[in-house]
Structure 1
């Protein structure tokens, strides 16, 4: 009986412990979360940015309106200024992937853009790629970054209202641990 109690106690103690690497990963994520919250305070207050701390990743969602001109794919001045607020944090990352994800609403592309972008998928990819290029230009390690476009395939809200479509036109910057 005593042996069973000792074995159980050891198992409880072991299960409550975390490795130093796991602790460091969580601590690094917490620090990045705090830095990004501080840097993007005005945009957070204006509901143009959302920061989510998930179990193994950190996600910054930015509405397209603060990065690109209406219907555009190239960063405007406001977009560069917004990204400049997070560049210092992104430049310090060494052991994390920086995934830039582009999304659109389901409204078909207008005739002026159709010759360049056959669909929303290509438009979302161009936006994500432009964010990656800008971040690289500002000194973020390109080996850590990737760009992916999802078009209108993963809406964050219903496309049946203007507010829903506004939320669907977004860039997500996801910070995740590097695969071993």
Structure 2
């Protein structure tokens, strides 16, 4: 029984041999692949070197081509210069021959040429003498003009001094007239205060006498109301007393300026506040002229709502801006 078990064969294992064969095959493949890669590397390096050498040869060929073109151009230019020099040399030879022939032919007329030059010199000398005489005459004339200019400058200085003196005198006279006019203006305002009394709707603002429009006109109208005419009569009476005392040589004028508030007017016949203020100032001027006021001493002005004395929006502010201003001023 033991013998029979000893004789029994175990099965054969092929797997290790198969693995060894595959390993050997893989090593051979890797070696061949390495050889192929190395061959490719050296081949590409050789090809790249040949390309660089070919590019270098092409550049050298281009440089040689440029040099050849430049050399051809230089050669052509040299040929042109040689032709030009030959032509110049030939022309010089012809001129030399012509000069030699002319010298030979003109040797006999040299004396005639010298005589002609002497005659020309004599004429030139006479012309120079004549010019010198004319220059001397011009110099004497310039001296006379300079003397006249000097005398005129002296007269101008004297005239300027006189003008300056007259100007200063005129300024003094004007200042005196302005002072006199200011005195009469003060008298006019003082008498107006006495006539009109201490009323809230009639005020003196600086050098102007201010009457509110409600005293003279109805709302949005430019016709003097009966009350307005009565007030203007008072102004005319006070002004008439002062005008009698103003000397006639003082240039003065009574300026009547119309003003409105900033409310836009929408009633006919006035299209704007400008027209309303102008119509009101003209109404006062015409009434004063009808009362006998000299029209040469009166002036109408219109400002619309452009010069308010109160920038507020209240009814009281608007009422104050609707006004007629009277002012005595110089022309």
TM-score in terms of structure 2 length: 0.43
Aligned length: 152
Residue 236 of structure 2: aligned partner:
87
Residue 326 of structure 2: aligned partner:
173
- For residues 39-87 of structure 1, give each alpha carbon's deviation from its aligned partner in whole angstroms, at most 9, with x where no partner exists: 111xxx33101124x4xxx311000000001221100000000010010
Does the 8 Å CA contact 1:105/1:159 hold for their aligned counterparts? no
SS of residue matched to 1:150: strand
- For residues 7-65 of structure 1, give each alpha carbon's deviation from its aligned partner in whole angstroms, at most 9, with x where no partner exists: xxxxxxxxxx9975455333322221211111111xxx33101124x4xxx31100000
Shift of 1:127: 0.3
Structure holding more helix per residue: 2
Instruction: Say whether residues 1:119 and 2:272 are aligned partners.
Output: yes
The structure with more radius of gyration: 2
235, 240, 256: which one aligns with 1:100: 256
Residue 134 of structure 1: aligned partner:
287
Q: Distance in 2 between matches of 1:120 and 1:109?
A: 6
Shift of 1:117: 1.1
SS of residue matched to 1:156: coil
Q: Which runs of 5+ in 1 are unaligned?
A: 1-16
Residue 68 of structure 1: aligned partner:
217
Question: CA separation of 1:108/1:89 partners in 2, compared to 1, >3 Å: closer, same or farther?
Answer: same
SS of residue matched to 1:86: helix
Deviation above 4 Å: which 4+ runs of structure 1? 17-20
35, 39, 52: which one aligns with 2:195: 39
Structure with higher RCO (Cα < 8 A, 6+ apart): 1
Structure holding more strand per residue: 1
Residue 49 of structure 1: aligned partner:
202
Q: Which runs of 5+ in 2 are unaligned?
A: 1-171
Shift of 1:159: 4.3
Q: Distance in 2 between matches of 1:22 and 1:101?
A: 21
Question: CA separation of 1:151/1:26 partners in 2, compared to 1, >3 Å: closer, same or farther?
Answer: closer
TM-score in terms of structure 1 length: 0.77
Shift of 1:90: 2.3
Question: CA separation of 1:71/1:159 partners in 2, compared to 1, >3 Å: closer, same or farther?
Answer: farther
Does the 8 Å CA contact 1:90/1:140 hold for their aligned counterparts? no
Question: CA separation of 1:150/1:47 partners in 2, compared to 1, >3 Å: closer, same or farther?
Answer: same
* Superposition RMSD in Å: 2.0
